[in-house]
Structure 1
Amino acid sequence: MKRNIVIATLTAAALAGGTVVAFAAGDDESAARPATGTNVRVVSDRDDDTDDRSDDTEDRTTVRGSGVSAAEAIAAALRHTPGTAVSAELEDDGADAGTWNVDVVRSDGAEYDVNVSGAGKVLGAYRDNDEGDDDNDSEDRAESAALKGAKFDAHKAALTAAAKGTVTEIDADDDSGAVAWNVATVKAGTTSEWSVAVDTGKITRVQSDED
């Protein structure tokens, strides 16, 4: 009798177009058996594919961008604090994300850290009073002298490298024996480093995440 009632209920539900999840009980069995029907939900492999894509995304470099480019931030910093821009770096984490830190050396040799907001507004300029050793000071002075009046200054170097991706950092580098601009860019999640000659503006890739 119980079997007839269950079968009748399932049949009525199927005719009504509903999805049925039921258990048929035997006369002498207390264990339930899943009923088999045409309305069966099949779990696809797409969830696994989504997880794989998420893992790939996490492996990529993510940059919280700024409303102004590196070149624009450098220009704003120099309007506020005239001198020679020797580096610029984009903050991409924490409360300062989207803010640029631009190092400017004035004509008297004083170095300032100029903070530029994502809207291009100068938030402040702070003199760097850290005293390093004589060797480092000498190297810094040599770099500043090489960059002062360079045909491709930090602003132009940033514009040149922008063709390769979003510029996130630029600074002077003399590891090769000659001062050049070292620029970091991000494009399609890949970080690359470039060298930009201060005299010709020639850009050369140094390395990439894909290497």
Structure 2
Amino acid sequence: MKRNIVIASITAAALLSGTAVAVAGTQSSSTGAPTTHTTNASGTTTLSDAAHAALKAVPGTLDSLDRDHGRWDAEILGKDGKWHEVTLDGSTAKVLNQHIDRDTDAEDAAEAKALRNADISATEAARKAASSGTVTSVEFDGDRTQVWEVETVKNHKERDLNVNAQSGKVTQAPSDDDGDDD
């Protein structure tokens, strides 16, 4: 009796404007042929599919993508130069809501400039960090040293990593010991 086999793989799954999107799960049918599922083994949409759907809804540069409460929340610096927020269903990657963030300030302008100068994209950062577990969040931090803050989960343990936005070097993020939940 043949069974469905779940093949866990970390692959570059989609090309978006020349950038690789990573972190995907693939399932095979009893015949061995790949199925077209866009969810991972837990039944949730992969970061790859969420990134693709968000950037299809709002072309531009992905600033952050976070899985929370069964949804993906994305922030995108649109090609129009405006900040967009997109909420996607966690199971289907269907766009649930999108709007322009009208509450921007000088800090957002500095973030946009730093994001445009990053050599490593959000999806490339996720791919680089994926060997440490399933990526659940990626966010650009352009304050001092420009890095992608990437959160992974493996064996029910969270791990915070930094991926240098210029070199792509992955390092352990400093611990957040200030007592808040950020």
* TM-score of Structure 1 vs Structure 2, range by shorter chain: 0.5 to 0.7
**CA offsets, 1:6-46, max 9 Å, x none?**
xxxxxxxxxxxxxxxxxxxxxxxxxxxxxxxxxxxxxxxxx
CA contact (8 A) 1:143 1:179 kept: no
Aligned length: 134
**What amino acid is aligned across from residue 157 of structure 1 in structure 2?**
A
Residue in structure 2 matched with residue 109 of structure 1 by the alignment: 81
**CA offsets, 1:81-111, max 9 Å, x none?**
101111111013xxxx2x1011011133211
- Structure 1: where are the runs of 5+ without partners? 1-64, 132-136
Residue 182, structure 1, aligned to residue 182, structure 2 = no
Residue in structure 1 matched with residue 112 of structure 2 by the alignment: 144
Aligned pairs for 1:48-127 (under 5 A) are 67-92=44-69, 97=70, 99-117=71-89, 118-127=91-100
Aligned pairs for 1:15-34 (under 5 A) are none
Bigger RCO of structures 1 and 2 (CA < 8 A, at least 6 apart): 2
Q: TM-score, normalised by structure 2?
A: 0.65
Secondary structure at the aligned position of 1:115 is classed as strand
Report the RMSD for the aligned CA atoms in angstroms. 2.1
Per the TM alignment, residue 77 of structure 1 is displaced from its structure 2 partner at its CA by 0.6
Q: TM-score, normalised by structure 1?
A: 0.57
CA contact (8 A) 1:157 1:181 kept: yes
Secondary structure at the aligned position of 2:79 is classed as coil
* Match 1:168 to one of 127, 132, 136: 136
Per the TM alignment, residue 208 of structure 1 is displaced from its structure 2 partner at its CA by 6.8
Higher helix share: 1
Q: Which structure has the larger Rg?
A: 1
Residue in structure 2 matched with residue 197 of structure 1 by the alignment: 164
CA contact (8 A) 1:158 1:167 kept: yes
Per the TM alignment, residue 205 of structure 1 is displaced from its structure 2 partner at its CA by 0.9
Q: Distance in 1 between matches of 2:49 and 2:124?
A: 10
Higher strand share: 2
